[in-house]
Amino acid sequence: MTRSYAAKKVHAFGGTLQGAVTKETDFVILGNKRRGISSKQLKAEQLISLGLDIQIMQEDDFIWVLSIPKAHIPSNMDEEY
């Protein structure tokens, strides 16, 4: 999945993309073609260790989440996507 396509899917769910991992980040998606640990993954892990609720997700799991019809996502979660 290209970043452009992923961005379109996230926007379709009402989410926004960030260029950096911050305390406002909810999810970090790890691409299938990555090599080693990225700086974004390291930053997310650092923030998680400080108690922030950031989910690190593999690309395949992200694709699976996107396949769930929006009607099946609880209304309180819909805002996070």
27-46 pLDDT, tens per residue?
A: 999 988 878 889 999 999 99
Helices and strands (H, E) in the chain, number of each type: 4, 2
> Which residues are within 8 A (CB) of 77 and not within 5 positions of it... i.e. 6 or more apart?
none
Specify the fold of 3-71: Rossmann fold (3.40.50)
According to the model, what pLDDT value does residue 4 have? 87
Could you give the C-alpha distances from 43 to 22, 23, 46, 48, 80, in angstroms and in order?
8, 10, 5, 9, 20
Mean pLDDT by groups of 10 residues along the chain of 81 residues: 85 87 94 86 97 95 85 53 38
According to the model, what pLDDT value does residue 79 have? 45
- Angle 3-63-78 from CA coordinates, rounded to 5°: 95
- Sequence spans of domains, the chain: 3-71
